Structure 1
């Protein structure tokens, strides 16, 4: 496999220099991943300062290995304090510290159990008619224009509205929730600037105030929504602290739409790029479900997730992580590993080797996976039924926010 010009690789040390902001990599990371699979499925990415795992087998295994975890040794606050002055990130750090995404059992188990019931498949399936109705309403709003940016007009409002309604906050606040979320996730990009950090902190503080306001309303007037569940757990005095309530609500609102927006945009692009168009892949409900799974594998929205080592762990002979060190799991690479998938860069919904890791695995498997799958299935089916002549109007560009892999815009005509 030919090495992309923008990759600098030392085979003796397994060190790689690859600027994640390199335009060619931002727009198409898969040639670099193919090189890693062929030459160095375990490598040290100097730009991030992390050992990385690119193979499907290693990523899938590490997700499930309890010697690794999300919780920072010593706790979130002690860990970030060691990085120097972060007083300008006080609100952001407070929101992150209580997130179940950053915790391990038994605290993780307690928090996840509180909200899991709302996200199991049988509960989520009840939302399908609502998602379909919302998709129709959105298309009604722009169909006559014969052109639209489907990221902004379609991919974003659906998951943002649904998760707002599930949480019990006003659906019309969806655009504000998306804006706060976008500001916060920029903290996960490579080398965020001071301006990005300060904006993320402001948004985290505003988001937390928003949650506390609506939680207070739920104390006075409980409902059957998720925020009422979290508020009741806090009121019990033993299941949820106020900071955990706020962090959990922010996580659910952010995670409930952020990745699904990117994945829906990526999926529409992939389907429209196929010979013969999307119609051949979206006939029956079963075909739609299979196409969604292939979209999740083919061009996933999240390309890097990290884990901390809790003991000394050998990655390959001669290379070991020490306790407290991080390893990066490259989901986008794992989903396109030729050792795991036949012709990985071919879009094939009927493939028999479908086992993508886009939602993770193990105890941190994405709690919203059933919801994300349903939203995509319902939305894509409605979109391509309503607009069968849909075509890409201008070459879409991916946003420069590795490891979130999503489009800036997706302008289409019909």
Structure 2
């Protein structure tokens, strides 16, 4: 039974009642999205208390509309409670939460490390890492590929790029998970306190790393940010800390989910998975379809800076928030033929999984490369790979990823 056929789903006059924690929705949000595409491409999602957009055109347009942005109007904050002081300090200087000119200055500083030609140089290193990881579990004949493969690939690469100790990977993951829990629906006081503690510890760690880079600069991104800090007013100490935390968190969190989702998707197609990676072009197309078909981020928000119509008959007032349903947009039948068919060679290939506009994911070239290499190597090394159990998704909307990925070969 799909969520659209249960009491947890109700849609009347563009008002949606849909519990994002309902099991049927967690395991298959696309059934609900299909109902929205049929009945209302923009809905007031009562569980979130805001208008949400489900259509590809509407979401893509909103991502690019400069009348909408990430930074709260009039310098407001979502995290003004005393027990969120440290988390708020990190968020306040994150380029993800800022608009021009501050956003432009920060993004310009770090962008050079993530352009495609720079990232492409990492291909041999990523491949070597993937082979080493598979060497470690191949003889077992079975593994949960999330901790064994999908997690260490991106966390190792982003740590090496930034120049922080790779052996800190498990601790970085713990801090990251506690911080991103703040973006989930229905967070509790305990979640908030855990996120604040993680932000405080994470920031202290980055400040210590930055101090080491001042004394002993290296050929890494953190050294570049430290040099920018030392050159004057281009980067404050707080901006350096927030930018580094953002890059570490964003550099692995979504890619872990996408890699797990992609493996499950490809195995569900049946046959020899190596056929999806027969050429570099086929590999790239396969990754793009994985990004569209089952993306790792399903909800992103924007704040209105002035009165703006975000969909037919939906006009936001200044200060109001709109939810952009990226996962729904990627399976809009107005934008894609057979939207729930996995077709890497489709002629209408596009997605909003990395966003769009000035906040388009700065790490998109790196994420694409990691996915291309990690999937290609995995199926080349383990062509008999199969699911040992039906994959189950975690109750973490708006992040969309598996609880585990137990496979045999």
Give the TM-score range, shorter chain. Answer: over 0.9
Q: 1:309 maps to which residue?
A: 304
**What secondary structure, in the 3-state scheme, does the structure 1 residue paired with 2:358 have?**
helix
The 3-state SS of whatever aligns with 1:308 is strand
The answer as to 2:387 corresponding to 1:395 is: no
Which whole-Å CA distance do the structure 2 matches of 1:281 and 1:262 have between them?
20
1:64 aligns with 2:68: no
Alignment partner of 1:355 out of 326, 350, 355: 350
Match of 1:10 among 5, 9, 12: 12
3-state SS, counterpart of residue 112 of structure 2: helix
Query: What SS class does the counterpart of residue 303 from structure 2 fall into?
Result: strand
Task: Provide the residue aligned with 1:230 in structure 2.
Answer: 225
Shift of 1:87: 1.1
Q: 1:22 to 1:3 in 2, by over 3 A?
A: closer
Does residue 1:152 correspond to 2:147, yes or no?
yes
Aligned to 1:42: 42
Distance 1:343 1:403 in 2: 24
Q: Which moved further from structure 2: 158-167 or 281-290?
A: 281-290
Partner of 1:294: 289
| Distance in 1 separating the partners of 2:222 and 2:92 | 19
1:28 alignment counterpart: 28
Give CA deviations for 1:206-236 in whole Å, capped at 9, x if unaligned.
Answer: 1001100000001111112111111111122
Mapped partners of 2:123, 2:71: distance in 1: 34
Contact 2:68–2:304 (CA<8 Å) still a contact in 1? Answer: yes
2:334 paired residue number: 339
Partner of 2:377: 382
1: distance between equivalents of 2:3 and 2:167? Answer: 49
Q: How does 1:244-259 map to 2 (within 5 A)?
A: 244-259=239-254
TM-score of the superposition, structure 2-length normalised? 0.98
Distance in 2, Cα, partners of 1:317 & 1:100? 31
TM normalised by structure 1 equals 0.96
Of 81, 103, 106, which aligns to 2:101?
106
In structure 2, how many angstroms separate the alpha carbons of the residues matched to 1:55 and 1:229?
40
Which residue pairs with 1:320 in the alignment?
A: 315
1:201 aligned counterpart, secondary structure: helix
**CA offset digits 1:293-350 (Å, max 9, x no partner):** 0000000000000001111112345432111111010000000000000101000000
Of residues 203-212 and 228-237 in structure 1, the stretch that sits farther from structure 2 once superposed is: 228-237
- Unmatched 5+ stretches in structure 1: none
Deviation at 1:4, TM superposition (A): 3.0
Report SS of the residue matched to 1:74.
Answer: helix
Q: Does the CA contact (< 8 Å) of 1:301 and 1:404 recur in 2?
A: yes
Structure 2 portions without partners, runs of 5+: none
Q: Does 1:122 align with 2:124?
A: no
Cα RMSD of the aligned pairs, angstroms, is: 1.2
SS class of match (2:289): helix
Counterpart CA distance in 2 for 1:328 and 1:91 is 26
TM-aligned CA distance change 1:316 to 1:334, over 3 Å: closer
**In 2, Cα distance between equivalents of 1:232 and 1:318:** 49
Distance 1:171 1:317 in 2: 49
Residue 271 of structure 1 contacts residue 277 of structure 1 at CA under 8 Å; is this kept in 2? no
Question: C-alpha distance in 1, partners of 2:253/2:59?
Answer: 22
Report what 1:73 is aligned to.
73
